[in-house]
A and B are shown apart, each in its own frame.
Chain A
Amino acid sequence: MNSKNVLYILKRIGLALLTVWVVITVTFFVMHAVPGGPFLGEKAISASAIKALETKYGMDKPLMTQYFTYLKDIVTRFDFGPSIKQRGRMVIDVIGDGMKTSAKLGLVAAFVALIIGVVLGAIAALRRNRIIDKVIMVLTTAFVSMPSFIMGALLLIVFVVKLRWFPGNGATSGGLVLPIITLSLYPMAYITRLTRSSMLDVLGQDYIRTARAKGVSKWKIIFGHAMKNSLIPVITYFGPMIAYIVTGSIVVEQIFAVPGIGRAFVQCIINRDYPMIMGTTIILAILIVVMNMVSDILYKVVDPRIKFD
């Protein structure tokens, strides 16, 4: 690894840290700019009760003091404070609970999307302009332009309401199958198209012709020579894929009643549980920013031809 690589990685980490800081700051000030505050709810509370609550949650202090306390707690202890609506629970615990289910859902969806996408893309590239290529391209075009909530709802109609193959509740066993399919279809379609075009590009290169000319078997060319290089562009999609799965899971968990972090996020928006909204936004944002950073760095490190800027 040369110094240019190290410099690039440091720069990229710096940008990621800066982005996370911007997210925290924006989230904090945006949430505190809402008129009324979190305690103005359905029930009328007396002014003294509000005052007591504000003292309890440290909201009577000046805004900047609150901001620095919040920032310090996150950096030093990864602590997002207590939840307002779920009494006696810390934000990080609530998120951790939801994260267990969501991580399972998201990771399996990403894995499925990656495997099937690469295989379908390779098949489409190797059978270019044949029937199977055209079928794959038409299907992936359709999947790419269908919003995840529409896809999820349609799957719900067909497999839960009509066929009754799966339970409609994501908390039960087998309930995660449909959410996983819903979440993985879009990235799968995208990866298929990405792999197909980069595979076609690689198959036209000189070194493939050389390999063929010296008599390397077809499969060895595909898996030994072509596959490795055609997967490089797929790496760049890691970050956006995680972002898609995170935001997609917010609605998909809603549709299939999966007790994950996305569902909790929608619930806390409805309940106006401000520390929860802030905590969830920041943690999900950190996840996305870090994944983007990792895929950017990997991309540049894996392919020595790519110039550093």
Chain B
Amino acid sequence: MKKNPFSLQVKLDDFIPASADEKAYMVQMRPSTTFFRDGVKRLVKNKVALVSFIIIVVITLSAILIPIFWPYGYEQMLGVTPGRPVDSSYNNLAPMHYGRTEQAKIDAGEKVFPHLFGTDSSGRDYFIRIVYGTRISLAVGFFASIIVLMIGILVGSVAGYIGGKVDLIIMRIVDIIYSLPDMLMVILLAAVLRQTLTPLIAGTVLEKIGSNIISLFIVFGLLYWVSMSRLIRGQILSLREQEYVLAAQATGAKSGWIIRKHLIPNCISVVIISTALQIPNAIFTESYLSFLGLGVNAPMPSLGSLASDALNGISSYPFRLVIPAIVISLIVLSLNLFGDGLRDAFDPKLNA
């Protein structure tokens, strides 16, 4: 029978109920995945990023947990006992060596917790100072990035949403701050704020953190938000104009749905990634300032100040410089590699 293209004749075969085989063919073999699960899967496949992540977790956990059970404090000078002359046999101990009184205890059969990395010139256990230094460096990096993130989101979204003159003025200010030589300004502000803040915060909770760290945070808040706010403004501007947003609006989606399902998932990964990449940057800056003597207040250690202190005794005790150097490079390297991995796994624009 010749089929007339204009006839309304229907093929009855098309309306036969599906057989079991055909039904089985249509069954979804794989459960649908979410964007987040998909990203995690890609991240886990990335060996370099995974190893970096494990290193970060191990370093962070040891920085948090080791001081709990370690028998020595970071500012405890082991040779100093109240009411007695200072026992200088504790100063500058080599790794796994003991001070005079400790040696006596060991000879008497008692157990003494070893000084894994020896002690420094004031007789402080070097291992615990490294652990505390790591803790300070990580905390500074983390909080500085959070500050940068918050200011960046605030300014960037204001500029992106309001647009017009406000946007223009904000973006010109951003341009100028962006072209300022950041490190010089950081040094200048850190040097000045240190002196201004010390009398201001005396006696408050903030004193415990130390004026230098607070001035570091202020400096970060003042200077480093610009690239974050540029990023967020750009995201908002481009996402608002996307066709899928228009399509969602056309199919009657409410703005709450659009924000939840389209704007946030598309924006958040970029923001998280650049925050993650900001952390090593902040750690780097902190150690640089500490190295110049503008970082943490003594006796609190940071990896940079430990390295800087070690320069004085470099010919006799080079390992005191090598250890913080290795830790800091390891942290910065693995954070950078992990950030790269995050970007590869979660940036939807790269997969396209």
User: What are the residues of chain B within 8 A of A99 when measuring CB–CB?
Assistant: none
Q: Check B184 for interface membership: any CB of A closer than 8 A.
A: yes
Q: Which of A13-21, A112-120, A125-133 contacts B (4 or more CB under 8 A)?
A: A13-21
| Cβ–Cβ contact A16 & B333, under 8 A | no
Question: Chain A 20-32, CB within 8 Å of chain B: the 1/0 string?
Answer: 0011001100110
| Cβ–Cβ contact B184 & A247, under 8 A | yes
Question: Chain B 274-291, CB within 8 Å of chain A: the 1/0 string?
Answer: 000000100010011001
CA–CA, A270 to B294, complex, Å?
Answer: 10
From known contacts A30-B188, A269-B191, infer whether A141 and B179 are also in contact, taking CB-CB under 8 Å.
Answer: no
User: What are the residues of chain B within 8 A of A33 when measuring CB–CB?
Assistant: 192, 196
Q: Which of B184, B192, B288 contacts A149 (CB 8 A)?
A: B288
Q: What number of A-B contacts does a CB cutoff of 8 Å give?
A: 117
Q: Check B315 for interface membership: any CB of A closer than 8 A.
A: yes
Q: Check A108 for interface membership: any CB of B closer than 8 A.
A: no
User: What are the residues of chain B within 8 A of A149 when measuring CB–CB?
Assistant: 287-288, 291, 304, 307-308
Q: Check B246 for interface membership: any CB of A closer than 8 A.
A: no
| Cβ–Cβ contact B181 & A147, under 8 A | no
CA–CA, A72 to B57, complex, Å?
Answer: 55
The A interface is mostly helix, strand or loop, or mixed, namely helix
Q: Check A250 for interface membership: any CB of B closer than 8 A.
A: yes
Query: Shortest distance in angstroms between A102's beta carbon and chain B's nearest beta carbon?
Result: 14
| Cβ–Cβ contact A153 & B311, under 8 A | yes
User: What are the residues of chain A within 8 A of B191 when measuring CB–CB?
Assistant: 269, 277
Q: Check A292 for interface membership: any CB of B closer than 8 A.
A: yes
Q: Check A156 for interface membership: any CB of B closer than 8 A.
A: yes
| Cβ–Cβ contact B176 & A157, under 8 A | no
| Cβ–Cβ contact B192 & A34, under 8 A | yes
| Chain A, interface residues (CB within 8 Å), range | 35 or more
User: What are the residues of chain A within 8 A of B287 when measuring CB–CB?
Assistant: 147, 149
Q: Check A251 for interface membership: any CB of B closer than 8 A.
A: yes
Q: In chain B between 176 and 235, which residues have their CB closer than 8 angstroms to a CB of chain A?
A: 176, 179-181, 183-185, 187-189, 191-192, 195-196, 199
Q: Check A52 for interface membership: any CB of B closer than 8 A.
A: no
CA–CA, A203 to B291, complex, Å?
Answer: 43
Query: Shortest distance in angstroms between A106's beta carbon and chain B's nearest beta carbon?
Result: 14
Q: Which of B292, B293, B294, B321 contacts A153 (CB 8 A)?
A: B321
Sample 16 A-B pairs with CB under 8 A, ordered by A number: A15-B175, A19-B176, A30-B192, A35-B199, A141-B333, A146-B329, A146-B333, A147-B284, A147-B329, A147-B332, A154-B322, A161-B318, A251-B288, A251-B292, A269-B191, A281-B188
Question: In this complex, what residue of A is CB-closest to B340?
Answer: A141
| Besides A145-B280, A243-B183, A269-B294, 17 other A-B contacts (C-beta < 8 A) | A18-B176, A30-B189, A33-B196, A146-B325, A147-B332, A149-B304, A154-B322, A156-B311, A157-B321, A250-B187, A254-B292, A266-B292, A269-B191, A281-B185, A285-B181, A288-B181, A288-B184
Q: Check A181 for interface membership: any CB of B closer than 8 A.
A: no
Q: Check A255 for interface membership: any CB of B closer than 8 A.
A: yes
**Top 4 A-B pairs, shortest CB-CB distance:** A247-B183, A145-B333, A288-B181, A150-B325
User: What are the residues of chain A within 8 A of B293 when measuring CB–CB?
Assistant: 266, 270
Q: Which of A19, A147, A250, A251 contacts B328 (CB 8 A)?
A: A147
Q: Check A177 for interface membership: any CB of B closer than 8 A.
A: no
CA–CA, A265 to B292, complex, Å?
Answer: 11
CA–CA, A18 to B187, complex, Å?
Answer: 21
Question: In this complex, what residue of A is CB-closest to B178?
Answer: A19
Question: Chain A 27-51, CB within 8 Å of chain B: the 1/0 string?
Answer: 1001101111000000000000000
Q: In chain B between 291 and 323, which residues have their CB closer than 8 angstroms to a CB of chain A?
A: 291-294, 304, 307-308, 310-311, 314-315, 318, 321-322
Q: Check B336 for interface membership: any CB of A closer than 8 A.
A: yes
Q: Check A53 for interface membership: any CB of B closer than 8 A.
A: no
| Chain B, interface residues (CB within 8 Å), range | 35 or more
Query: Shortest distance in angstroms between A99's beta carbon and chain B's nearest beta carbon?
Result: 15
User: What are the residues of chain B within 8 A of A194 when measuring CB–CB?
Assistant: none
Q: In chain A between 247 and 306, which residues have their CB closer than 8 angstroms to a CB of chain B?
A: 247, 250-251, 254-255, 265-266, 269-270, 277, 281, 284-285, 288-289, 292
CA–CA, A154 to B185, complex, Å?
Answer: 27
Question: In this complex, what residue of B is CB-closest to A142?
Answer: B333
From known contacts A153-B321, A251-B292, infer whether A284 and B181 are also in contact, taking CB-CB under 8 Å.
Answer: yes
| Cβ–Cβ contact A34 & B288, under 8 A | no
Q: Check A92 for interface membership: any CB of B closer than 8 A.
A: no
| Cβ–Cβ contact A154 & B292, under 8 A | no
User: What are the residues of chain A within 8 A of B332 when measuring CB–CB?
Assistant: 145-147
* Residue in A254, A269, A281 with the greatest tally of chain B CB atoms within 10 Å: A269
User: What are the residues of chain B within 8 A of A154 when measuring CB–CB?
Assistant: 321-322, 325
| Cβ–Cβ contact A22 & B176, under 8 A | yes
User: What are the residues of chain A within 8 A of B188 when measuring CB–CB?
Assistant: 27, 30-31, 277, 281
Q: Which of A26, A145, A266, A269 contacts B336 (CB 8 A)?
A: A145
| Cβ–Cβ contact A16 & B179, under 8 A | yes
Q: Check A246 for interface membership: any CB of B closer than 8 A.
A: yes
User: What are the residues of chain A within 8 A of B280 when measuring CB–CB?
Assistant: 145
Question: Chain A 85-98, CB within 8 Å of chain B: the 1/0 string?
Answer: 00000000000000
Q: In chain B between 143 and 191, which residues have their CB closer than 8 angstroms to a CB of chain A?
A: 175-176, 179-181, 183-185, 187-189, 191
Question: Chain A 212-251, CB within 8 Å of chain B: the 1/0 string?
Answer: 0000000000000000000000000000000100110011
CA–CA, A156 to B315, complex, Å?
Answer: 9
User: What are the residues of chain B within 8 A of A30 when measuring CB–CB?
Assistant: 188-189, 192
Q: Which of A19, A26, A157, A277 contacts B314 (CB 8 A)?
A: A157
